Amino acid sequence: MPTGRRSALEHDVALPDLTPFDGESLHADGDHVAIDFVDLDFAGADAPDTRFLECRLQRCGLDGASLRRSRIAESLLSDVHAATVDFADSTWRDSQVVGGRLGAVTMVGATWTGIRVRGSHLGFMNLAGAHLQDVTFEGCEIGSLDVRTADLQSVAFVDCRVDELNVAGATLSRVDLSHARLHTLVGVESLHGAIISHEQLVDLAPLLAAQVGLEVRDDPSGSQGGR
């Protein structure tokens, strides 16, 4: 039975009437359209090439699940949790991830278009070699975010804490870091195309100076004691 009328749900994702999932687990090459996955445990599921269109996954466990090459479109993932989950080479479009706690998330080679991640706790997110366009991270706490060699266009971090960001070899265009609290940045040489705040610029000054080969010395006049 459908669970409700078509409407803009709690996190601005418009979903159709949803049919509760009646299976036992996720399987390879699954094709799910307008399905409601609520309070289900998919730990250890081996489900590559699975497709989700206009679906909701709410309070589901994905620990150890493999969803490589999966396709997720116009869907909502709310309060999902996992210590590890593999989404390598997956394709995400016009979807949202809201809340939840994920430990190690493998997104190597993934493609994200029109994605919002809100209020999520992410331990280690590996987006190396991924393609991100029109993506927003909002109110997230991220331990380590690896976007080495990735292509990022119109990506923003709003009120996020990122303990370590690795952009080595990445291509950035309109990537707004100015509202992120960054602790460690790796790959300062790849920051071309990023937007940072004045405070971040001051923090990054020693790294930027080292990158271009500048030697910074103390002002000798300051050691004269006013003589």
**Percent composition of the chain: helix, strand, coil (DSSP 3-state, to 5):** 10, 50, 40
- Sole residue written with tokens 């190396």: 128
Please check whether residue 144 lies inside any domain of the structure.
Answer: yes
> How far, in Å, are 87, 120, 139, 143, 178 from residue 161 at the CA level?
23, 11, 8, 8, 11
Tell me how far CA of residue 184 lies from CA of 2, 165, 180, 197, 211, in angstroms.
Answer: 47, 6, 12, 15, 16
Query: Band of the pLDDT at 208, cuts 50, 70, 90?
Result: confident
In a domain, 10, yes or no: no
- List pLDDT tens digits, range 138-165: 999 999 999 999 999 999 999 999 999 9
> pLDDT tens across 55-102, in order?
999 999 999 999 999 999 999 999 999 999 999 999 999 999 999 999
3-state secondary structure string, 20-39?
A: ECCCCCCCCCCEEECEEEEC
| Residue found by looking up tokens 């996020």 in the block | 160
pLDDT in tens, 158-169: 999 999 999 999
Q: Is residue 66 included in any domain, yes or no?
A: yes
| Residue located via tokens 């699975």 | 50
The answer to whether residue 97 sits within a structural domain is yes
Q: Please give the mean pLDDT across all residues of the chain.
A: 91
Give the whole-angstrom CA distance, residue 134 versus residue 154.
5
pTM (2 d.p.): 0.87
Segment 118-129 mean pLDDT: 98
Total domain count, the chain: 1
- 3-state class (DSSP) for residue 3: coil
Residue 208, SS3? helix
Q: What single-letter amino acid sits at 85?
A: V
- 2 within a domain of the structure (yes/no): no
42 within domain boundaries: yes
Provide the pLDDT for residue 60: 98
| Residue 227 pLDDT > 80 | no
The answer to whether position 1 is within a domain reads no
Q: What is the pLDDT of residue 205?
A: 82
The confidence score (pLDDT) of residue 6 equals 38
Per-residue model confidence (pLDDT) at position 206: 81
Its domain, for residue 37, covers: 21-212
Residue 172: both structure tokens together: 């950035």
**CATH code of 128's domain:** 2.160.20.80
* pLDDT above 90 coverage of the chain, percent: 78
CA dist 164 and 108 (Å) reads 17
Residues in the chain: 227
Look at residue 90 and tell me if it is in a domain: yes
